[in-house]
């Protein structure tokens, strides 16, 4: 519920920008067809479309957050305070992310900030039962690097949409070549962080094999983007990034099952 509340807060804080996109769709039918073809979700956002008032949306978000906080307070100390702190980062971070993204003109700092917000969600789940340690740190860094890399690719493919909204993206600021290099670096850091997570959690070989296999696929796709530097390759890289996390989760689940069966 806390995450859902943060999503509503994101739409509430970004409502003016989303209305700009709706206006662009109304004025440019070719752009509207592009958005439909690429399955954009902005047009269905109820606040921007006027289906739900900003006040009602804010009230709903606060209700979700309140219920989430009430559940968290039932946790034993000090875990409740750890999780509440993580929830607070997300709640403060979403409106700040939207504000920074609207104001950025020369450098897209919001992308780096948004990675912090999203990576805190699984860390909060971990801190519900454990204390802050190296494993919590590696959970955060793994997902942070993955999220920033994914956002770089998405913003590159979505550059025209952001241009119409008056938002600067990394590709428009420094070029596609830099984006390709930076995304490749982030993929290497993501894989290294997940390997560090495997080490700190003392998991088995199945998880390590899954991390390395997924990491090689991720890094290979980003290397191809660096060589070709085309938006079509960037779109394909987005798909690889999307399946990367489920692949790692599946390898982790398999590793846990093998341990439970006393295979190793």
pLDDT at residue 155, as a whole number: 76
Burial class (CB in 10 A: 0-12, 13-18, 19+), 152: buried
Low-confidence ranges of the chain (pLDDT < 70): 17-18, 20-45, 94-95, 98, 101-111, 158-174
Residue that the structure tokens 């450098």 belong to: 107
The answer to whether residues 194 and 248 touch, using CB atoms and an 8 Å cutoff, is yes
| pLDDT score, position 24 | 57
Residue spans per domain, the chain: 1-74, 75-260
pLDDT at 257: 94
Alpha carbons 91 and 137: distance in angstroms, whole number:
20
| Predicted pLDDT of residue 38 | 47
pLDDT tens-place string over residues 176-190: 788 888 899 999 999
Question: Tell me, what's the pLDDT at 244?
Answer: 94
State the sign of the Cα–Cα–Cα–Cα dihedral 42, 44, 46, 48. positive
Rg of the chain in Å (alpha carbons) = 20
- How far is the C-alpha of 171 from the C-alpha of 239, rounded, in Å? 19
pLDDT recorded at residue 141: 94
pLDDT for position 254 = 95
Alpha helix stretches (DSSP H) within the chain: 2-13, 15-27, 29-37, 46-49, 54-72, 79-103, 109-127, 134-157, 159-164, 170-174, 176-200, 205-228, 231-260
Return the pLDDT at 161: 61
User: Which CATH fold would you assign to the domain 75-260?
Assistant: 1.20.120
């Amino acid at each position: 519920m806390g995450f859902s509340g943060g999503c509503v807060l994101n739409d509430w804080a970004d409502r003016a920008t989303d209305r700009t996109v709706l206006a662009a769709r109304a004025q440019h039918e070719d752009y509207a067809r592009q958005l439909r073809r690429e399955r954009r979700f902005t047009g269905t956002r109820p606040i921007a479309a006027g289906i739900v008032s900003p006040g009602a949306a804010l009230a709903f978000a606060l209700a979700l957050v309140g219920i989430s906080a009430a559940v968290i307070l039932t946790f034993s100390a000090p875990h409740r305070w750890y999780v509440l702190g993580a929830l607070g980062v997300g709640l403060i971070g979403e409106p700040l992310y939207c504000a920074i993204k609207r104001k950025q003109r020369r450098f897209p700092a919001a992308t780096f900030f948004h990675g912090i917000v999203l990576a805190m969600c699984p860390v909060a789940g971990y801190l519900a039962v454990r204390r802050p340690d190296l494993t919590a740190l590696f959970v955060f860094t793994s997902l942070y690097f993955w999220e920033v890399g994914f956002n770089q690719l998405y913003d590159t493919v979505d550059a025209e949409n952001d241009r119409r909204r008056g938002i600067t993206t990394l590709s428009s600021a420094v070029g596609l070549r830099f984006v390709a290099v930076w995304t490749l670096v982030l993929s290497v850091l993501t894989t290294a962080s997940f390997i560090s997570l495997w080490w700190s959690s003392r998991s088995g070989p199945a998880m390590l094999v899954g991390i390395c296999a997924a990491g090689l696929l991720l890094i290979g796709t980003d290397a191809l983007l660096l060589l070709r530097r085309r938006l079509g390759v960037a779109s394909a890289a987005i798909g690889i990034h999307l399946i990367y996390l489920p692949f790692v989760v599946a390898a982790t689940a398999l590793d846990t099952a093998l341990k439970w069966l006393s295979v190793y």
